[in-house]
Homo-oligomer: A and B are copies of this chain.
Amino acid sequence: MTGGLGFIGSNVALALSSGGAHVTVVDALVPTHGGDRRNLEDAPGVIEVIEAPVDDVGAVRDAADAADVVFNLAGQVSHVESMARPRFDLEVNTASQLGFLEVLRDVGSTAVVVYTSTRQIFGHPRYLPVDEDHPVSPVDVNGISKSATEQLHLLYGELYGIRASSVRLTNVYGPRQRLRDDLQGFLPIFVRRALSGESITVFGEGAQERDCLYVDDVVECLLLTARSEEAPGEVFNVGNDERLSLRSIAETIVAAAGSGSIETVPWPHDRDAIDIGSYYGDSSKAKRLLGWEPRTPFAEGIAKTIEFYRTHRSRYL
Protein backbone atom coordinates (compact mmCIF):
# COMPACT_ATOMS: atom_id res chain seq x y z
CA MET A 1 0.00 0.00 0.00
CA THR A 2 1.04 3.62 -0.52
CA GLY A 3 0.88 6.38 2.07
CA GLY A 4 0.94 3.68 4.73
CA LEU A 5 2.72 5.84 7.31
CA GLY A 6 0.05 8.52 7.08
CA PHE A 7 -3.17 8.95 9.01
CA ILE A 8 -5.65 6.72 7.20
CA GLY A 9 -2.88 4.62 5.62
CA SER A 10 -1.37 3.55 8.94
CA ASN A 11 -4.79 2.59 10.28
CA VAL A 12 -5.36 0.45 7.19
CA ALA A 13 -1.88 -1.11 7.49
CA LEU A 14 -2.45 -1.96 11.16
CA ALA A 15 -5.83 -3.54 10.39
CA LEU A 16 -4.36 -5.60 7.54
CA SER A 17 -1.45 -6.69 9.68
CA SER A 18 -3.80 -7.69 12.51
CA GLY A 19 -5.67 -9.80 9.99
CA GLY A 20 -2.49 -11.65 9.08
CA ALA A 21 -1.86 -10.00 5.72
CA HIS A 22 1.64 -9.51 4.34
CA VAL A 23 1.86 -5.71 4.17
CA THR A 24 4.41 -3.57 2.33
CA VAL A 25 4.14 0.17 2.78
CA VAL A 26 5.48 2.76 0.32
CA ASP A 27 5.63 6.25 1.80
CA ALA A 28 7.68 9.28 0.76
CA LEU A 29 7.49 10.79 4.26
CA VAL A 30 7.08 14.27 2.77
CA PRO A 31 7.26 16.66 5.71
CA THR A 32 3.78 18.08 6.54
CA HIS A 33 1.96 15.29 4.68
CA GLY A 34 1.15 13.30 7.78
CA GLY A 35 3.46 10.31 7.41
CA ASP A 36 5.22 9.24 10.61
CA ARG A 37 7.02 5.93 11.27
CA ARG A 38 5.67 5.93 14.81
CA ASN A 39 2.18 5.47 13.37
CA LEU A 40 3.07 1.80 12.85
CA GLU A 41 4.71 1.31 16.27
CA ASP A 42 1.75 -0.71 17.53
CA ALA A 43 1.82 -3.13 14.59
CA PRO A 44 1.21 -6.75 15.67
CA GLY A 45 3.43 -8.14 12.89
CA VAL A 46 6.22 -7.04 10.61
CA ILE A 47 5.28 -4.33 8.12
CA GLU A 48 7.91 -3.66 5.49
CA VAL A 49 8.40 0.05 4.83
CA ILE A 50 9.86 1.46 1.59
CA GLU A 51 10.64 5.13 1.98
CA ALA A 52 10.19 6.46 -1.55
CA PRO A 53 7.84 8.40 -3.79
CA VAL A 54 5.28 6.10 -5.39
CA ASP A 55 6.78 6.68 -8.85
CA ASP A 56 10.32 5.67 -7.85
CA VAL A 57 10.48 2.69 -10.20
CA GLY A 58 13.58 1.12 -8.69
CA ALA A 59 12.17 1.26 -5.17
CA VAL A 60 8.58 0.19 -5.78
CA ARG A 61 8.66 -2.08 -8.82
CA ASP A 62 9.07 -5.41 -7.00
CA ALA A 63 6.43 -4.57 -4.41
CA ALA A 64 4.05 -3.44 -7.16
CA ASP A 65 4.68 -6.66 -9.03
CA ALA A 66 4.00 -8.81 -5.96
CA ALA A 67 0.87 -7.05 -4.71
CA ASP A 68 -2.54 -8.67 -5.03
CA VAL A 69 -4.21 -5.64 -3.50
CA VAL A 70 -2.95 -2.05 -3.58
CA PHE A 71 -4.42 0.50 -1.21
CA ASN A 72 -3.27 3.69 -2.90
CA LEU A 73 -3.49 6.38 -0.24
CA ALA A 74 -0.33 8.44 -0.82
CA GLY A 75 -0.91 12.10 -1.45
CA GLN A 76 -1.05 15.67 -0.39
CA VAL A 77 -4.34 16.29 1.40
CA SER A 78 -4.04 19.92 2.43
CA HIS A 79 -6.23 22.52 0.78
CA VAL A 80 -3.94 25.25 2.14
CA GLU A 81 -0.75 23.66 0.78
CA SER A 82 -2.36 23.01 -2.60
CA MET A 83 -3.09 26.71 -3.02
CA ALA A 84 0.31 27.85 -1.70
CA ARG A 85 2.30 25.38 -3.83
CA PRO A 86 -0.02 24.36 -6.66
CA ARG A 87 2.60 22.78 -8.91
CA PHE A 88 3.91 20.66 -6.06
CA ASP A 89 0.37 19.49 -5.32
CA LEU A 90 -0.07 18.50 -8.97
CA GLU A 91 3.32 16.76 -8.98
CA VAL A 92 2.59 14.70 -5.85
CA ASN A 93 -1.09 14.01 -6.38
CA THR A 94 -1.19 13.51 -10.14
CA ALA A 95 2.16 13.25 -11.95
CA SER A 96 3.68 10.93 -9.35
CA GLN A 97 0.48 8.87 -9.20
CA LEU A 98 0.49 8.56 -12.99
CA GLY A 99 4.06 7.30 -12.69
CA PHE A 100 2.84 4.71 -10.16
CA LEU A 101 0.09 3.57 -12.52
CA GLU A 102 2.75 3.24 -15.24
CA VAL A 103 4.73 0.97 -12.90
CA LEU A 104 1.65 -1.22 -12.35
CA ARG A 105 1.08 -1.30 -16.11
CA ASP A 106 4.72 -2.10 -16.77
CA VAL A 107 4.77 -5.13 -14.46
CA GLY A 108 1.49 -6.34 -15.94
CA SER A 109 -0.29 -6.01 -12.63
CA THR A 110 -3.82 -7.34 -12.30
CA ALA A 111 -4.06 -6.17 -8.70
CA VAL A 112 -7.17 -4.78 -7.08
CA VAL A 113 -6.35 -1.09 -6.61
CA VAL A 114 -8.34 1.00 -4.14
CA TYR A 115 -7.64 4.71 -4.59
CA THR A 116 -8.76 7.26 -2.01
CA SER A 117 -10.23 10.42 -3.48
CA THR A 118 -11.94 13.24 -1.62
CA ARG A 119 -15.22 15.14 -1.36
CA GLN A 120 -13.17 18.22 -2.35
CA ILE A 121 -13.71 17.25 -5.98
CA PHE A 122 -17.35 18.36 -5.74
CA GLY A 123 -16.73 21.92 -4.56
CA HIS A 124 -19.90 23.85 -3.75
CA PRO A 125 -22.67 21.24 -3.55
CA ARG A 126 -25.48 21.90 -6.01
CA TYR A 127 -27.71 19.58 -3.98
CA LEU A 128 -27.48 17.55 -0.78
CA PRO A 129 -26.67 14.84 0.00
CA VAL A 130 -24.03 14.63 -2.74
CA ASP A 131 -24.21 11.37 -4.71
CA GLU A 132 -21.96 9.98 -7.46
CA ASP A 133 -23.97 11.72 -10.20
CA HIS A 134 -23.21 15.16 -8.74
CA PRO A 135 -21.03 17.21 -11.13
CA VAL A 136 -17.34 17.31 -10.29
CA SER A 137 -16.43 20.97 -9.82
CA PRO A 138 -13.41 21.44 -7.55
CA VAL A 139 -12.77 24.77 -5.83
CA ASP A 140 -9.11 24.17 -5.09
CA VAL A 141 -6.02 22.72 -6.76
CA ASN A 142 -6.17 19.69 -4.47
CA GLY A 143 -9.64 18.79 -5.73
CA ILE A 144 -8.49 19.15 -9.34
CA SER A 145 -5.36 17.02 -8.88
CA LYS A 146 -7.21 14.30 -6.95
CA SER A 147 -10.04 14.21 -9.48
CA ALA A 148 -7.60 13.84 -12.39
CA THR A 149 -5.90 10.94 -10.61
CA GLU A 150 -9.20 9.23 -9.91
CA GLN A 151 -9.90 9.44 -13.67
CA LEU A 152 -6.44 8.05 -14.43
CA HIS A 153 -7.14 5.06 -12.17
CA LEU A 154 -10.42 4.32 -13.95
CA LEU A 155 -8.72 4.71 -17.34
CA TYR A 156 -5.82 2.39 -16.46
CA GLY A 157 -8.36 -0.05 -15.04
CA GLU A 158 -10.33 0.02 -18.29
CA LEU A 159 -7.29 -0.40 -20.53
CA TYR A 160 -4.51 -2.22 -18.73
CA GLY A 161 -5.86 -4.92 -16.45
CA ILE A 162 -5.66 -3.48 -12.94
CA ARG A 163 -8.97 -3.57 -11.08
CA ALA A 164 -9.22 0.00 -9.84
CA SER A 165 -11.90 1.80 -7.89
CA SER A 166 -12.05 5.13 -6.10
CA VAL A 167 -13.45 5.98 -2.69
CA ARG A 168 -14.24 9.67 -2.22
CA LEU A 169 -13.90 10.34 1.47
CA THR A 170 -15.56 13.01 3.53
CA ASN A 171 -13.76 14.59 6.55
CA VAL A 172 -12.08 11.80 8.49
CA TYR A 173 -10.88 11.93 12.12
CA GLY A 174 -9.35 9.56 14.63
CA PRO A 175 -6.02 8.25 15.93
CA ARG A 176 -2.74 8.86 14.05
CA GLN A 177 -3.76 12.05 12.28
CA ARG A 178 -1.17 14.81 12.07
CA LEU A 179 -2.21 17.47 14.58
CA ARG A 180 0.87 19.67 14.65
CA ASP A 181 -0.09 22.37 12.18
CA ASP A 182 -3.19 23.71 10.47
CA LEU A 183 -2.73 21.93 7.16
CA GLN A 184 -4.88 18.79 7.47
CA GLY A 185 -8.36 20.28 7.69
CA PHE A 186 -10.60 21.53 10.43
CA LEU A 187 -11.02 18.34 12.49
CA PRO A 188 -7.38 17.92 13.59
CA ILE A 189 -7.20 21.67 14.23
CA PHE A 190 -10.25 21.50 16.51
CA VAL A 191 -8.87 18.43 18.35
CA ARG A 192 -5.43 19.96 18.91
CA ARG A 193 -6.84 23.26 20.14
CA ALA A 194 -9.18 21.58 22.58
CA LEU A 195 -6.43 19.29 23.90
CA SER A 196 -4.11 22.27 24.29
CA GLY A 197 -6.73 24.31 26.12
CA GLU A 198 -6.96 26.85 23.30
CA SER A 199 -10.06 28.31 21.72
CA ILE A 200 -11.57 26.87 18.53
CA THR A 201 -12.49 29.55 16.00
CA VAL A 202 -15.87 29.14 14.33
CA PHE A 203 -16.82 31.50 11.50
CA GLY A 204 -20.28 33.08 11.62
CA GLU A 205 -22.92 30.88 13.22
CA GLY A 206 -20.97 27.71 12.53
CA ALA A 207 -24.17 26.37 11.00
CA GLN A 208 -22.59 24.64 8.00
CA GLU A 209 -23.07 20.90 8.28
CA ARG A 210 -20.49 18.15 7.78
CA ASP A 211 -20.63 14.35 7.85
CA CYS A 212 -17.45 13.38 9.69
CA LEU A 213 -16.26 9.76 9.60
CA TYR A 214 -14.28 7.93 12.25
CA VAL A 215 -11.19 6.34 10.75
CA ASP A 216 -12.18 2.77 11.72
CA ASP A 217 -15.30 3.15 9.58
CA VAL A 218 -13.11 4.29 6.69
CA VAL A 219 -10.75 1.34 7.14
CA GLU A 220 -13.68 -1.05 7.04
CA CYS A 221 -15.00 0.61 3.90
CA LEU A 222 -11.63 0.34 2.12
CA LEU A 223 -11.26 -3.35 3.08
CA LEU A 224 -14.78 -4.06 1.82
CA THR A 225 -13.99 -2.22 -1.42
CA ALA A 226 -10.90 -4.38 -1.95
CA ARG A 227 -12.93 -7.56 -1.40
CA SER A 228 -15.91 -6.60 -3.58
CA GLU A 229 -16.21 -8.12 -7.04
CA GLU A 230 -18.46 -5.21 -7.93
CA ALA A 231 -16.08 -2.40 -6.99
CA PRO A 232 -13.60 -2.32 -9.92
CA GLY A 233 -14.42 0.51 -12.30
CA GLU A 234 -16.66 2.17 -9.74
CA VAL A 235 -16.47 5.36 -7.66
CA PHE A 236 -18.06 5.60 -4.22
CA ASN A 237 -19.03 8.67 -2.21
CA VAL A 238 -18.34 7.70 1.38
CA GLY A 239 -19.72 9.90 4.14
CA ASN A 240 -21.82 9.60 7.25
CA ASP A 241 -25.54 9.70 7.90
CA GLU A 242 -24.92 11.69 11.06
CA ARG A 243 -24.70 15.34 10.04
CA LEU A 244 -23.47 17.92 12.47
CA SER A 245 -22.97 21.67 12.36
CA LEU A 246 -19.41 22.92 12.72
CA ARG A 247 -20.50 24.53 15.98
CA SER A 248 -21.81 21.27 17.45
CA ILE A 249 -18.70 19.44 16.22
CA ALA A 250 -16.57 21.95 18.11
CA GLU A 251 -18.79 21.63 21.20
CA THR A 252 -18.53 17.83 21.19
CA ILE A 253 -14.74 18.01 20.94
CA VAL A 254 -14.41 20.57 23.73
CA ALA A 255 -16.72 18.50 25.97
CA ALA A 256 -14.78 15.28 25.30
CA ALA A 257 -11.45 16.97 25.93
CA GLY A 258 -12.66 18.75 29.03
CA SER A 259 -10.58 21.68 27.87
CA GLY A 260 -10.54 24.40 25.22
CA SER A 261 -13.31 26.79 24.27
CA ILE A 262 -15.20 28.12 21.26
CA GLU A 263 -14.73 31.58 19.79
CA THR A 264 -17.15 32.90 17.21
CA VAL A 265 -15.88 35.42 14.66
CA PRO A 266 -17.50 37.01 11.60
CA TRP A 267 -16.78 35.45 8.19
CA PRO A 268 -13.42 36.69 6.90
CA HIS A 269 -13.82 38.15 3.42
CA ASP A 270 -11.08 36.06 1.82
CA ARG A 271 -12.75 32.79 2.80
CA ASP A 272 -15.97 33.54 0.95
CA ALA A 273 -14.73 32.36 -2.43
CA ILE A 274 -13.58 28.97 -1.23
CA ASP A 275 -16.22 28.24 1.42
CA ILE A 276 -18.45 25.47 0.21
CA GLY A 277 -21.32 25.84 2.70
CA SER A 278 -22.81 22.61 4.02
CA TYR A 279 -21.54 19.32 2.67
CA TYR A 280 -22.69 15.80 3.26
CA GLY A 281 -22.46 12.79 1.03
CA ASP A 282 -24.93 10.16 -0.08
CA SER A 283 -23.28 6.81 0.71
CA SER A 284 -26.08 4.59 -0.52
CA LYS A 285 -24.07 3.18 -3.42
CA ALA A 286 -21.27 2.10 -1.05
CA LYS A 287 -23.82 0.57 1.29
CA ARG A 288 -25.58 -1.28 -1.51
CA LEU A 289 -22.56 -2.56 -3.45
CA LEU A 290 -20.06 -3.04 -0.61
CA GLY A 291 -22.34 -3.89 2.30
CA TRP A 292 -20.75 -1.08 4.27
CA GLU A 293 -22.33 0.90 7.12
CA PRO A 294 -20.79 3.69 9.20
CA ARG A 295 -20.94 2.49 12.80
CA THR A 296 -19.35 5.09 15.03
CA PRO A 297 -21.41 8.02 16.35
CA PHE A 298 -19.37 11.24 16.43
CA ALA A 299 -19.40 11.54 20.24
CA GLU A 300 -18.07 7.99 20.58
CA GLY A 301 -15.41 8.42 17.89
CA ILE A 302 -14.24 11.70 19.37
CA ALA A 303 -14.01 10.15 22.85
CA LYS A 304 -11.75 7.39 21.45
CA THR A 305 -9.75 9.98 19.52
CA ILE A 306 -9.15 12.21 22.54
CA GLU A 307 -8.20 9.15 24.62
CA PHE A 308 -5.65 8.11 21.96
CA TYR A 309 -3.99 11.51 21.77
CA ARG A 310 -3.88 11.76 25.58
CA THR A 311 -2.03 8.42 25.70
CA HIS A 312 0.28 9.32 22.79
CA ARG A 313 0.56 13.02 23.50
CA SER A 314 4.29 13.31 22.87
CA ARG A 315 3.99 11.79 19.40
CA TYR A 316 1.37 14.14 18.03
CA LEU A 317 1.32 17.38 20.02
By a beta-carbon cutoff of 8 Å, the part of chain A in contact with chain B is 86-87, 90-91, 94-95, 98-99, 102, 133, 135-141, 144-145, 147-148, 151-152, 155, 158-159, 273-274
How many Å lie between the Cα of A102 and that of B83 in the bound state? 11
Task: Name the distance in Å between A297's Cβ and chain B's nearest Cβ.
Answer: 34
| Chain B residues near A159 (CB-CB < 8 A) | 273-274
How many Å lie between the Cα of A199 and that of B3 in the bound state? 52
B87 and A98 form a contact (CB under 8 A): yes
B158 and A152 form a contact (CB under 8 A): no
| Chain B residues near A133 (CB-CB < 8 A) | 135
**Chain A to chain B: the 4 pairs with minimum beta-carbon distance, closest first:** A148-B148, A144-B151, A144-B148, A87-B98
How many Å lie between the Cα of A136 and that of B137 in the bound state? 10
| Chain B residues near A273 (CB-CB < 8 A) | 158-159
Task: Name the distance in Å between A110's Cβ and chain B's nearest Cβ.
Answer: 16
> Which one of B94, B98, B141, B155 lies within 8 Å of A140 (CB-CB)?
B155
Offer 7 A-B interface pairs, CB within 8 angstroms, sorted by A: A90-B94, A95-B95, A138-B151, A138-B155, A144-B151, A147-B148, A159-B274
> Which one of B137, B145, B155, B274 lies within 8 Å of A148 (CB-CB)?
B145
Q: Known contacts A98-B90, A147-B148; is A155 also within 8 Å of B135 by CB?
A: no
> Which one of B87, B91, B148, B274 lies within 8 Å of A102 (CB-CB)?
B87
How many Å lie between the Cα of A155 and that of B139 in the bound state? 6
Q: Known contacts A90-B95, A90-B98; is A155 also within 8 Å of B144 by CB?
A: yes
B152 and A139 form a contact (CB under 8 A): no
Task: Name the distance in Å between A34's Cβ and chain B's nearest Cβ.
Answer: 23
Q: Which residue of B lies closest to A139 (CB)?
A: B155
| Chain B residues near A94 (CB-CB < 8 A) | 90, 94, 148
Q: Which residue of B lies closest to A151 (CB)?
A: B144
| Chain B residues near A152 (CB-CB < 8 A) | 141, 144
| Chain B residues near A144 (CB-CB < 8 A) | 148, 151-152, 155
Task: Name the distance in Å between A176's Cβ and chain B's nearest Cβ.
Answer: 31
